[in-house]
Amino acid sequence: MSTADTHALDARRHVHGQTDLRRHDADGPTAMVVSGQGVTITTDDGREIIDGFSGLGCASLGYSNRRLADAAHRQLATLPYAPTFYGRSHPTVATLADRLVALAPGGMSRAMFQCSGSEATDSLIKLLWYRNSARGEPERRTLVSRWRGYYGNTVAAVSVSGQPHMHARFGLPLEGFAKTETPNYYLNHRDGESEEEFSARMAADLERVIVENGPDRIAAFFAEPMQSGGGAIKPPEGYWPAMQAVIKRYGIHFHVDEVVCGFGRTGNRWGSETWGLEPDSITSAKALTAGYFPMSALLMKEDFYSDIVRNADEVGVLGHGFTYAGHPVGAAVAMEALDIYDEIDLIGHVRSVSSRFLDGCQALGDHPLVGDVRGVGLFCGIQLVENKATRALFDPARKVGRLVQDCAHDRGLYLRSIDPDRISFMPPLIIDADEIDEAVRRLAGALDDAWKHLGH
C-alpha cells in the first residue's frame, strides 16, 4: 500500500488511545513509524527522528537490539506459550521471578506477572482487598493516591490514577478512591515557601485525606517515586521523608509504582533507591522487557502472600490471573534485558551522561517559554509558561505544549506534551553524549519555532 493509503486506512479504521480523535480522523496519524535503530526511529516518509520519550517510557535499550530479538526467537522456537494457571509453569518464568525478587528493594519475596502496568495495578488492588478480608478488615478498601499520578487505564487503575481527562465522561473514578495533592513545587508553592515547607504541606494534606476517610478504612497509598504521567514531576526536597512519616504513623500499606522509574531511569535500579523509599509492594513493567514484549510484574512481601494463601485455602484456589501472565517469550526477553543491563553497566552509563542531559535541559530555562526545568538521571520535566515572573500558564485552548511537541517532531525529535503544558523528556537509556547534545539542540529549535508561531 502507498503511504497515503496506509495513513487513510489508519484514520478510518484504527481507534487510538490518548489521542485527539477528531484531529486524527481529519489528518491521520502524526507519524507512521516503520523502523528503528539505536535511539532513532524512522517514519514511512524516510524521516529519522530521535526518540526523546523512549516510545512510552519503555524503550530503555532503544531499537533493533539483536540480543533481545534473538532471545524472543529462541523462545518462540522452543516454547511459544505456556499457561501459568492451575499450578503449571515453565523454567524461564520461575527463574525471572527469583531474579526480580533478589533485585527488588524492601524485602520482596514473591512475583506475580501480567501483561501491562495497568493489569499489575488492578491485580494489586484486588489482592489488597482480598488480603484485608483474610485479616478480618474487609472495610479497609479505600485507595489513596495523588492528583496527576498515573497507574494505568483499566477501570480500577484509572480510578487510582489522578488524571482528570481519563475520568471525564467515563463515570470515573469509582467510589473509594481518594486523592491528595500533586507535589509540583514550581506551580503550586506559595510565595516565599521553601521546598521543605511545601513538602510539609503536602504531607499534611495526605494526613488530612487519611483522617477524613478513616485510617482504618485505608487499604494503601499509591505513588510513583517521580510522577511520569503528570509531566515528569520531580519530588521537591524533603517530600518523601515527610510523606513516609505520615504513611508509617498510620500503618498504611505503601505501594510504589516503578513502572517508569524502574531499571535505571533515575540513575539507580529503582526510583525507590533514589529517594530512599520503603515500599510494601512494587509494580514494574516497561523497561522490564525494554519494551520488546508486553509484560509486568507485581512484587510483594511474604506476609502479604501469606494472607492471600489464607483466603485461597478457604475458596480452594486464587481466583485471579491472566491468560498471558508469565508468558515464556516475555520472560525470556526480560531475562535477556536484565543480562544486558548488567553487562553494559546501564546504570553506570545513565549516571555518566546524566549531567550532560540535565545541564542541557537546564540551559533551556533561559528561553522565554520555559518557566521551570527539573530532572534526575535521564528523566526531565520542562514547564512552559506564559509569564515567567508570575508563573502564569497559557490558556489551555491554545495548546502550547502540543505546539512545542509538534515543532520538535518537525525538527526530528519525539517528545511528549502533558497538561498543563509540560514537556516530558526521557530518551532511551543507551543514549550517548553526542546524541543528547543533538536532541537538546532540536528541542531548543522547537521552542524558538513555537515562540515565533505565537507571534513573537
The pLDDT tens digits for 365-394 are 999 999 999 999 999 999 999 999 999 999
Q: Give the confidence band of 147 by pLDDT, cuts at 50, 70, 90.
A: very high
Averaged pLDDT, 204-216:
98
Of the candidates 382, 419, 349, 268, the one whose C-alpha atom is nearest the C-alpha of residue 62 is 349
pLDDT greater than 90 at residue 2: no
Percentage of the chain beyond pLDDT 70 is: 100
Kindly tell me the burial class for residue 316, based on how many C-beta atoms sit within 10 Å of its own C-beta (0-12, 13-18, 19 or more): exposed
The rounded mean pLDDT for the chain is: 97
- Where does 38-114 have alpha helices with state H? 54-57, 66-78, 91-103
Neighbours of 321 (CB within 10 A): 17
Domain boundaries, the chain: 3-27+44-64+345-453, 69-343
The pLDDT tens digits for 174-184 are 999 999 999 99
Q: How far apart are CA 205 and CA 199, in angstroms?
A: 10
Averaged pLDDT, 194-219:
98
Of the candidates 396, 395, 421, 411, the one whose C-alpha atom is nearest the C-alpha of residue 443 is 411
Q: Are 50 and 439 in contact (CB under 8 A)?
A: yes
* Identity of the amino acid at 355: S
Q: What does residue 34 show for φ and ψ, rounded to 5 degrees?
A: -115, -20
Q: How far apart are CA 236 and CA 345, in angstroms?
A: 28
Q: What does residue 170 show for φ and ψ, rounded to 5 degrees?
A: -95, -5
CB-based contacts of 154, cutoff 8 Å, min separation 6:
118, 119, 121, 122
The pLDDT tens digits for 218-272 are 999 999 999 999 999 999 999 999 999 999 999 999 999 999 999 999 999 999 9
Pick the CATH number of 3-27+44-64+345-453 from 1.10.10.10, 3.90.1150.10, 3.40.309.10, 1.50.10.10: 3.90.1150.10
DSSP letter assigned to residue 397: G
Domain 69-343 in CATH 3.40.640.10? The answer is yes
Query: What pLDDT, on a 0 to 100 scale, did the predictor assign at position 421?
Result: 96
CB-based contacts of 178, cutoff 8 Å, min separation 6:
142, 143, 144, 145, 209, 212, 213
pLDDT greater than 90 at residue 323: yes
* Identity of the amino acid at 395: D
Query: What pLDDT, on a 0 to 100 scale, did the predictor assign at position 80?
Result: 98
The pLDDT tens digits for 44-68 are 999 999 999 999 999 999 999 999 9
pLDDT greater than 90 at residue 27: yes
DSSP letter assigned to residue 47: -
Q: Give the confidence band of 1 by pLDDT, cuts at 50, 70, 90.
A: confident
Q: How far apart are CA 188 and CA 191, in angstroms?
A: 10
What are the angstrom distances between the C-alpha of 246 and each of 9, 51, 234, 293? 52, 39, 20, 38
Bridge partners (DSSP) of residue 209 are none
The pLDDT tens digits for 71-111 are 999 999 999 999 999 999 999 999 999 999 999 999 999 99
CB-based contacts of 443, cutoff 8 Å, min separation 6:
52, 364, 408, 413, 415, 423, 425
pLDDT greater than 90 at residue 6: yes
Query: What pLDDT, on a 0 to 100 scale, did the predictor assign at position 379?
Result: 98
Q: Whole-model pTM?
A: 0.96
Strand (E) or helix (H) holding 330: helix 328-343
E-strand spans in 52-199? 110-114, 142-146, 177-180
Query: What pLDDT, on a 0 to 100 scale, did the predictor assign at position 3?
Result: 86
Query: What pLDDT, on a 0 to 100 scale, did the predictor assign at position 68?
Result: 98
